[in-house]
Structure 1
Amino acid sequence: MVLLYVFGAIALINCAYYLLFSNFAFLKTSEKTTSEKYPLSLIICAKNEAENLQKHIPLWQKQQYPNFEIILINDASIDETLEVMESFAENDSRIQIVNVKNNEAFWANKKYALTLGIKRAKNTRLVFTDADCYPASEDWLATMASNFSDEKQLILGYGAYEKLPGFLNKIIRFETLMTAVQYFSYAQAGNPYMGVGRNLAYTSNLYYENNGYMSHIKIPSGDDDLFVNEAATSKNVALCVEPKAFTYSLPKKKRKKWLLQKKRHYSTAKLYKPKHRFLLATYYATNLLFWLLAIATLFTDFWYFALAIIFIRLVFQYIIVGSAAKKLKEQDLAPFIPFYELFLVFTQLSIFISNSGEKNSRWK
């Protein structure tokens, strides 16, 4: 009976998190319209991305926005990245190139390259994406920019992955969905903790007020989430979740490469503020315990109570995560949410174990 009580308490905590996520799942979004068009600087850091730049620069150039520049940062590439950038810059005065060479102090450090790009930008409002990402529409920049105001200096967007056949693709998109549900929900509740560099915007004023990336400059990852964790407040963050403002990129096609990517991303979480580490760790721990105790309690004399608890918790999950998935155009994942979660929980456990005691690696 004690085991059943513990299981009930774990499920209750789970449901409390889902109620938190409902802040975003049931958020009514209205398209913002403003007569003021702030000048923007679109900043893209690229390392050995010649092929992607060839495809994506034209899409950035076609953005329906009256006043923006494109800052292309070549981060010590050894392919033809710089040549591709230069070929587009010849015919478009909006394109500015920052050519970064490695040095001993900041060898292969993306944050160093981004810092040089930010310093080169002539506008105070900055929009960031990655070289392997493309916008969902020609209104991406305009929609992101519409969220800026004197108070709102940091805009969180959604960086999605393309839908492809196969189980790995669904797991990658589910993990991306759940990460977004969390950081959007926390931000909506006045407790922002991260964003993704695939689709992010903030002002240079905010960047300089927080000394840029200096507090974590030696950490290879975290130019997005660690900066947001440090600079975001309950007042200065806005959400941009209109589908035309999404960005998309191709997900990894090999499980090993995806796991390496996730290991790098998860390694920054230990540097979040203590309250965020506690909340995120509790969410993960209760998810893991829920599935372990669900199995254990089904083999007790009180299995029918356990079944009722499982049912209630899954209903919460389906309603709230399903609504969020629809909002983020990931509704095809909804029917199998519990199975994706179960697989992801144990995958994350293996990553956390693997990450302990391992040094961070360079970006790309």
Structure 2
Amino acid sequence: MLDVIFYIFCIVVAIQVIFYFFIFSRLAFFKPQTKAYNNLPVSVIICAKNEAENLKTFLPSIISQDYSTFEIVLINDASSDDTFEVMEQFAETNKNIKLVNVENYETFWGNKKFALTLGIKAAKYEHLLFTDADCKPISNHWISEMASHFVSNKSLVLGYGKYAYKEKSFLNKLIRFETLITAINYFSFAKIGLPYMGVGRNLAYTKTEFFKANGFINHMKLKSGDDDLFVNQVATKSNTSICLTPNSFTQSVPKSTFKAWFRQKRRHVSTAKHYKKLHKALLGFIYITQILFWALSMLLLALLFKWQIVVPLILLRLIGQYIIFGNSAKTLNEKGLTALTPILEIFLIVVQLTIFINNLISKPNYWK
């Protein structure tokens, strides 16, 4: 039996190394290049529900973007606070702001996709750039950088949405580590021609692409997934571009409690089961090999079974992981994560397994 476990362990290590050096290396060794600005007119779309304070804090960073022609479409999704009043105040002093006030309808109760659809229809321009009310661009060239990737036949641009750094916080490191891993996955797969998701904190596509897919109609009944499920549906090797220049990043406020973050991740994970079969299989395969690597490593080391071979294999996998994660963290300007990679990975595996079990028992809550 131990021989069988040992051979499975060897296969798992080989698979992990292949993933790291032949797929995830696409992001780790990617050299972001600033493309020539094309000055396409852009509609920046922000859907907000009970985000009055965040709009006051972060909307000025959108308004002050250094870009020749853009509008800001602010969507109030049936807020119960002063969100719409705050939007009106900004609109009074900024002529390029357009307001869309959405009330609750019984058919689409609490459905962000319905509100977004109305906002997209109201947008003046063909090229749409999405972010959230609690996000701010890293620089005032955010629109320029993202819009510059609408070249040739590219109608969808995947950007990076990071979370703010907080010193001496393990939860903050865990949140940013999970965000880093997710980015390594979807950017690397996009680079090999298998784009499967994007994040609504920093995402761009054309109105033509949206209406060609009939919007969110294929998953309208699912109240989450306005970003990743839509990208999973329409993204192809030929129509998708990635933008990873530092000036293109957005930054969001991370959750401050584990409970709030856990609830957020339950919503995010619940959409993955609706991905295309190939994407689900690949992501599930990666996760299973991660679990097996750590479980079998600990078992074989505890029993000292062929430890002379097991230890070098563990080191091979960990060194490969450090190289890929370290370079990816530099590309995405994430600090303070690489040294803690094994600890954060094990903790994240446990959290994800707990989320999976919880989602089987009960459905997560959506939107706000």
Q: TM-score range by the shorter chain?
A: over 0.9
The residue number in structure 2 matching 1:95 is: 97
Point out where structure 2 has 5 or more consecutive residues left out of the alignment: none
- Out of 315, 330, 335, the residue aligned to residue 331 of structure 1 is 335
4+ runs deviating over 4 angstroms: none
Aligned to 2:348: 344
Give CA deviations for 1:260-286 in whole Å, capped at 9, x if unaligned: 000000000000000000000000000
CA contact (8 A) 2:267 2:366 kept: no
Aligned 8 A contact 2:224 2:367 in 1:
yes
Question: For the residues of structure 2 that align with 1:316 and 1:64, how far apart are their CA atoms?
Answer: 40
Equivalent residue number for residue 359 of structure 2: 355
Contact 1:220 1:360 in 2 (8 A): no
1:164 is matched with 166
Contact kept, 8 Å, 2:39 with 2:69, in 1: the verdict is yes
Q: Could you tell me which of 33, 50, 74 is aligned with 1:30?
A: 33
Counterpart of 1:262?
265
Q: Deviations over 1:106-142 (max 9, x none)?
A: 0010000000000000100000000000000000000
Residues 13-22 or 133-142, more deviating:
13-22
For residue 234 of structure 1, give the secondary structure of its aligned residue in structure 2.
coil
Kindly report the root-mean-square deviation, in angstroms, between the aligned alpha carbons of the 2 structures: 0.9
Over 3 Å counting, the alpha-carbon distance change for 1:158 and 1:132 in structure 2 is same
Q: Give the counterpart letter for 2:210 in structure 1.
A: Y
Is 1:181 paired with 2:191? no
Residue type at the aligned position of 2:287: Y
Q: Does 1:134 align with 2:136?
A: yes
Residue among 200, 213, 230 paired with 1:210: 213
Compare 77-86 and 348-357 and name the one that shifted more: 348-357
Do residues 191 (structure 1) and 201 (structure 2) align?
A: no
1:224 alignment partner, one of 221, 224, 227: 227
Q: Corresponding residue for 2:83?
A: 81
1:27, distance to aligned residue in structure 2 (A): 1.1
Query: What is the CA–CA distance in structure 2 between the aligned matches of 1:355 and 1:109, rounded to whole Å?
Result: 20
Where does residue 297 of structure 2 map in the other structure? 294
> 2:146 is matched with which residue?
144
- After TM superposition, give the deviation of residue 243 of structure 1 in Å: 1.0
Letter in structure 1 aligned against 2:140: E
**Contact kept in structure 1, 2:24 and 2:324, CA below 8 Å:** yes
| 1:164/1:331 CA distance change after superposition, 3 Å | closer
* Segment drifting more, 9-18 vs 192-201: 9-18
Report the number of matched residues: 363
What SS does structure 2 have at the residue aligned with 1:48? coil
Residue identity opposite 1:251 in structure 2: P
SS at match of 2:45: strand
Cα contact 1:199–1:247 (8 A) shared by 2: yes
Determine if the alignment matches structure 1 residue 109 to structure 2 residue 111.
Answer: yes
Asked whether the equivalents of residues 157 and 241 of structure 2 are also in contact (C-alpha less than 8 Å), the reply is: yes
Q: Match of 1:201?
A: 204
Is the contact between residue 267 and residue 360 of structure 1 (CA under 8 Å) also seen in structure 2?
yes
1:127 match: secondary structure: strand
Aligned to 2:20: 18
Partner amino acid, structure 2, of 1:90: E
Contact 2:263–2:364 (8 Å) recurs in 1: no
Whether contact under 8 Å (1:63, 1:140) holds in the other structure is yes
Contact 1:70 1:95 in 2 (8 A): yes
Whole-Å separation in 2 of the counterparts to 1:221 and 1:16: 33
Aligned 8 A contact 1:186 1:192 in 2 = yes
1:252 matches 2:274? no
* CA deviation string 1:147-168 (max 9, x = no partner): 0024111000000000013100
Contact residue 198 and residue 247 of structure 1 kept, 8 A: yes
Q: Which amino acid letter does the alignment assign opposite residue 338 of structure 1?
A: P
Match of 2:54 in 1: 52
Question: Once the 2 structures are TM-superposed, how far is the Cα of residue 2 of structure 1 from its aligned partner?
Answer: 2.1
Measured after TM superposition, the shift of residue 360 of structure 1 is: 4.1
Distance, in Å, in 1 between the alignment partners of 2:278 and 2:361 is 23
Give 1:250 deviation, angstroms.
1.0
5+ residue gaps, structure 1, are none
1:206 maps to amino acid: E
Q: For 2:245, which of 238, 242, 245 is the aligned residue?
A: 242
